[in-house]
């Protein structure tokens, strides 16, 4: 039975065992979509990425949860680009284009003051849609009280490549009580039943962070919680610029923390730059190699 090699990287942290785990398959050119989905199911991470040749960009990346393919994944992009660069597969390129189902997006590589490889990816233009559902049911599905939801700020669907429901929460303490009932999400999210839930607050563990969040997966994904979420952090940056910034800014830089409640804390740096049509959303992070393992190609 053929075996496929999967490389495990943790993204949005330089420390193995922290951040968000992603699988990267570097030998996926001849795999079918069904086989990619089966591999992702065996790997079991929130996402497994398959870098492939592209006719319109430097590389094409397909992203699979254990349950289905998604358009874009921030942490799996970090893992994939980190893998390709550290294995010498990008040559001396520091800027490249990636083809995704959310569009062709720029990525650039650079190092921070500590000498760590940093990856900055441009995300799709932010989109928002109204949530008209029940706050009481939403709170119940999260395992918190309705009073924990901050109604002075809008609860809205947002996307910079993948749709999620952004839910403002009053305090950090409520995050420790959250016990999601993911199976109830579709009946509450009537406008977008396949969306995930992304509660956030302005109280943080790290005094240098601007926002704290958790991310609970759609039940269709086959996972429960995403430790540190790049695409949702990107759209949170756009949300912050629209609803929380004290005045309209030309550029906004945010540090978003996530993963503390499940022992996988990581950081996502988000830059929002004002443009004529819509804001430019960029997400920056790093990754670290953990191990490699084989899965059977059934």
Q: Which two tokens stand for residue 40?
A: 């992702």
DSSP secondary structure string, 206-239?
A: STT-SEEE-EE--GGGT-SEESS-HHHHHHHHHH
- Those residues whose C-beta lies under 8 Å from the C-beta of residue 28, and which sit 6 or more positions away, are 4, 36, 50, 51, 52, 62
Q: Would you call 47 a catalytic residue per the annotation?
A: yes
- Selected catalytic residue, list 47, 99, 225, 257: 47
- E-only strand ranges, the chain: 3-11, 20-24, 47-52, 59-64, 69-70, 95-100, 103-111, 117-122, 127-130, 156-159, 163-168, 196-201, 211-213, 215-216, 225-226, 251-258, 266-273, 280-285, 287-296
Residues identified as active-site: 47
């Amino acid at each position: 039975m053929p075996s496929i090699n999967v490389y495990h990287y943790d993204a949005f942290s330089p420390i193995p065992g922290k951040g968000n785990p992603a699988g990267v398959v570097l030998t996926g050119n001849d795999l079918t979509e069904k086989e990619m989905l089966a591999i992702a199911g065996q790997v079991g991470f929130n996402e497994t990425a398959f870098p492939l040749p592209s006719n319109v960009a430097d590389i094409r990346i397909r992203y699979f949860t254990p349950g289905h393919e998604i358009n874009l994944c921030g942490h799996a992009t970090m893992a994939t680009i980190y893998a390709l660069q550290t294995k010498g597969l990008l040559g001396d390129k520091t800027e490249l284009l990636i083809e995704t189902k959310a569009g062709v997006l720029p990525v650039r590589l650079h190092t921070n003051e500590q000498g760590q490889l940093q990856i900055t990816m441009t995300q799709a233009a932010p989109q928002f849609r109204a949530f008209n559902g029940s706050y009481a049911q939403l709170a119940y599905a999260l395992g918190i009280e309705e009073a924990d939801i901050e109604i002075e700020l809008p609860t809205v669907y947002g996307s910079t490549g993948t749709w999620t429901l952004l839910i403002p929460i009053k305090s950090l303490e409520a995050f420790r009580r959250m016990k999601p009932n993911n199976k109830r999400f579709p009946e509450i999210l009537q406008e977008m039943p396949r969306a995930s839930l992304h509660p956030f607050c302005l109280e943080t563990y790290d005094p240098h962070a601007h926002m704290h969040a958790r991310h609970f997966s759609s039940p269709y994904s086959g996972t429960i919680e995403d430790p540190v979420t790049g695409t949702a952090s990107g759209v949170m940056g756009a949300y912050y610029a629209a609803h929380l910034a004290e005045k309209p800014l030309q550029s906004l830089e945010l540090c978003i923390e996530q993963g503390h409640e499940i022992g996988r804390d990581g950081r996502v740096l988000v830059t929002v730059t004002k443009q004529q049509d819509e804001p430019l959303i960029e997400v920056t992070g790093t990754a670290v190699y953990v191990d490699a393992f084989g899965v059977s190609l059934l």
